[in-house]
Amino acid sequence: MTTVEIKHATTPEERQKAFPILQELRSHLTADSFDDLYAEMAEEGYRLFVGYEKDKPVAVAGVTISTNFYLGRHAYVYDLVTTESRRSKGYGEELLLFVHEWAEQQECDAVELESGLWRDDAHRFYERLGYEKYCYSFKYDLN
């Protein structure tokens, strides 16, 4: 397996370096909207973890901790993406396994994430790592 150094992006400079990778998953984001949303999300406990290959960001994971009646205390992975040129080299797996360890240290009972219905390759990846499909997510646009 490839080895990646994983760091919590705590400075604007670290987040700026990670932004182009996150934008590969969230193509609607601009640098300004990212900064604005991140500020609000950070207040809600959002953390951005970055995987580095030789000091160059190659993967990112955005995670929060929540508590609810059906999972108890859990980590929720909002964002997980490896830059296109480095996919299928083990970086995403290493980053997600890091999130599992981090969540355990935070006394979480589970890690949860959502994946678009059309993302069959991602679903196989998550299932290979032991995730189970257990529900559908629904949304209602208010605009």
pLDDT tens by residue, 56-92: 999 999 999 999 999 999 999 999 999 999 988 999 9
Q: Residue 116: pLDDT band by 50, 70, 90 thresholds?
A: confident
Which tokens in the block code for residue 4? 């990646």
C-alpha radius of gyration, the chain, whole number: 15
The pLDDT score that the predictor gives to residue 61 is 97
* pLDDT, greater one: 122 or 95: 95
What is the Cβ-side half-sphere exposure of residue 122, based on CA atoms within 13 angstroms?
14
Could you tell me which of 88, 77, 21 has the C-alpha nearest to residue 52? 21
Which residues contact residue 17 at a Cβ distance below 8 angstroms, ignoring those fewer than 6 apart?
9, 50, 57
Could you tell me which of 138, 135, 65, 134 has the C-alpha nearest to residue 104? 65
